[in-house]
Amino acid sequence: MSDSFEEPLGFDLGEPPQPQGEAYRVLARKYRPQTFAELIGQDAMVQTLGNAIRRGRLAHAFLLTGVRGVGKTSTARLIAKALNCIGPDGQGGPTIDPCGVCEPCRAIAEGRHIDVIEMDAASHTGVDDVREIIDASRYAAVSARFKIYIIDEVHMLSKNAFNALLKTLEEPPGHVKFLFATTEVNKVPVTVLSRCQRFDLRRIPADKLAEHFANVSAKEGVEAEPEALGLIARAAEGSARDGLSILDQAIAHAGQEGGGVRADAVRDMLGLSDRSATRDLFAILLAGDATGALASLRRQYDLGVDPLSVLRALLETVHGTTLVKLGAQVEQGQATEEREALAGWAAKLSFAALHRLWQLLLKAHEEVGRAALPIEACEMALLRLIHASTLPDPGELARMIAGGTMPAVNAPAQSASTPAAAPAEAALPATIQAIRDLLDRSGEQALGSKVYHSASVVHLAAPELVLSSARPLNADMVRDLNVELKRLTGRIWKVTTQDAPGAPTLRERDESEAQAKRAEILATPVVKAAFEAFPDAKIEDAEFDRIIANQRSEA
């Protein structure tokens, strides 16, 4: 038997270990700005820093504040590079445009420079942590021009830690710079704020974010619809990091779908309400169609849209309409359909109506956010909006009543100076009752019934009819009246609604007349004598109706 062991018998050792590929870096880290030119939306701060560096007027401590993801930590690292850059030839000085190729620039970018110390105040909150910084700051920098301490979320330091830092922060050694970053500047003691040069980093505008995301998508080799990038930019709420995270998710979703980043996919991914569906719902609400509004809300809910997202989209619509009414600049990338819809609503709605809509929707958003039954709460809120949003302001209504300026019941009386109607217009119905009679005679009893129950006239001068939207109004009635009156009269009618109190409806008029007739009947001597003899007697409604009908026929 041979002593050599030439090959294993029955053992499979498998494949040798393969080298691991480079780990994927998320877009928020991959596209972190490496120069001030790549820092978007913070032009004022960059200009101030550039002037300070060129003139040698460098503060010893900087405080960077702003919402999440606007570039506070990235800006701190860029300042560290700007102060310690030595240029490609090793002879450069502090500059607002660090070269990025010298050893200090590369080491700071990679987070390995010995003289640039980053500390997370969330996990180093105590006075002992600050004492280490104070002790180390006495020693000169090892290889850099300045020793720089970057303290992130500085507001989380304890009170004792802040107190320990005050003296060093006020009179630090010449080779030391402090860079603080925080999202909650109100929690930083005033004694610290007074010792720092403060920069408030702004939220990044949506159009600049969308442009940035388009560049990132192009570098990643991914096609993205402009509308999709606009949705992501709005969802990011001014934060580049949040937006890049959403874009990362959208690209992964597009890979599964086998296409680019599409607006409908982003909308589904974020659970956003479709803008066209929002416009339709808003139009239904303004028309006072309660049934249609609930059906539209349920359609969006069944597609997975959160009720809060629907209310938020409606709030954005009211806000956009108000801005258009004010003549503000139109948002870039806004669809033509949306622009036309906002312009139409801005022309029709008063500022008072828009403010009421805003307050009602804002209250609804708050209620639905803490409701046990969100969709039911949202439905009730929309019904409340339909019934309350278009009511006249109490003060305005009181002034109108006191001044006797309530709208006329039907068409205004023709004055002596008003020319008589042309013969071609003589056949046009001049009252809402005449319109209802015309519809009934032509077989349109259903539409005539809608007119009878809910048509409150603000103005009628055929062929123009303005109905009040100050009460629930069937959304289809206005459209159907335009069509049917044109068909029946041969003239093009303009039937619209207005946010103003109108005359009583035909039904309200008949009920008022019936009540007056009943009171008149009860006041007759014979009826009064009968009730005195029989106190428990009563006249049935049917008998009242019969008496009133007889009186009308005799008249």
Q: Is residue 13 in a domain?
A: no
- The rounded distance, in Å, linking the Cα atoms of 77 and 4 is 62
Residue ending a domain, choose from 255, 270, 285: 270
The CATH number assigned to the domain holding 319 equals 1.20.272.10
Q: Is residue 20 in a domain?
A: no
Q: Which two tokens stand for residue 472?
A: 């629930």
Is 373 in the same domain as 493?
Answer: no
- What Cα–Cα distance (Å) separates residue 425 from each residue in 103, 411, 430? 90, 14, 10
Q: Is residue 15 in a domain?
A: no
Residue ending a domain, choose from 483, 503, 523: 503
Please report, to the nearest 10 degrees, the dihedral formed by the alpha carbons of residues 290, 292, 296, 297 taken in order.
Answer: 20
Q: Which of the 8 DSSP states describes residue 497? A: E
Q: Is residue 410 in a domain?
A: no
Is 55 in the same domain as 177?
Answer: yes
Is 116 in the same domain as 239?
Answer: no
- The rounded distance, in Å, linking the Cα atoms of 61 and 24 is 35
Is 265 in the same domain as 288?
Answer: no
Is 66 in the same domain as 99?
Answer: yes
The CATH number assigned to the domain holding 227 equals 1.10.8.60
CB 95 within 8 A of CB 86: no
Residue-level pLDDT at 181: 92
Is 518 in the same domain as 469?
Answer: no
Is 183 in the same domain as 322?
Answer: no
Residue-level pLDDT at 531: 66
Q: Is residue 416 in a domain?
A: no
Q: Is residue 482 in a domain?
A: yes
**How many domains in the chain?**
5
* End-to-end CA, the chain: 136
Residue-level pLDDT at 68: 86
- The rounded distance, in Å, linking the Cα atoms of 259 and 270 is 18
Is 119 in the same domain as 183?
Answer: yes
pLDDT digits (tens, 9 = 90+) for 386-406: 887 555 555 555 555 555 555
The CATH number assigned to the domain holding 70 equals 3.40.50.300
- The rounded distance, in Å, linking the Cα atoms of 385 and 355 is 12
What radius of gyration, in Å, describes the C-alpha atoms of the chain? 37
Is 194 in the same domain as 45?
Answer: yes
Helix (H) or strand (E) holding 536: none
pLDDT digits (tens, 9 = 90+) for 278-327: 888 999 998 888 888 999 999 888 878 889 989 998 998 999 999 998 88
363, burial (CB in 10 Å: exposed 0-12, middle 13-18, buried 19+): middle
Q: Which domain holds residue 217?
A: 206-270
Give the pairing of strands 176-182 and 197-200. Answer: unpaired
Residue-level pLDDT at 147: 92
- The rounded distance, in Å, linking the Cα atoms of 246 and 203 is 17
Q: Which two tokens stand for residue 176?
A: 């030391």
- What is the sign of the dihedral through the CA atoms of 87, 92, 94 and 95? negative
Is 213 in the same domain as 358?
Answer: no
Is 378 in the same domain as 483?
Answer: no
Q: Is residue 178 in a domain?
A: yes
- The rounded distance, in Å, linking the Cα atoms of 125 and 323 is 46
- pTM for the model stands at 0.56
Is 52 in the same domain as 196?
Answer: yes
Residue ending a domain, choose from 185, 200, 215: 200
185, burial (CB in 10 Å: exposed 0-12, middle 13-18, buried 19+): middle
Strand partners, 65: 182, 200
Residue-level pLDDT at 29: 86
Question: What are the start-end ranges of the H helices in 171-306?
Answer: 190-193, 206-219, 226-236, 240-257, 263-270, 275-287, 290-302
Residues in the chain with pLDDT < 70? 1-22, 255-259, 271-274, 330-336, 389-427, 475, 526-527, 529-531, 533-534, 536-555
Q: Is residue 408 in a domain?
A: no
- The rounded distance, in Å, linking the Cα atoms of 521 and 509 is 18
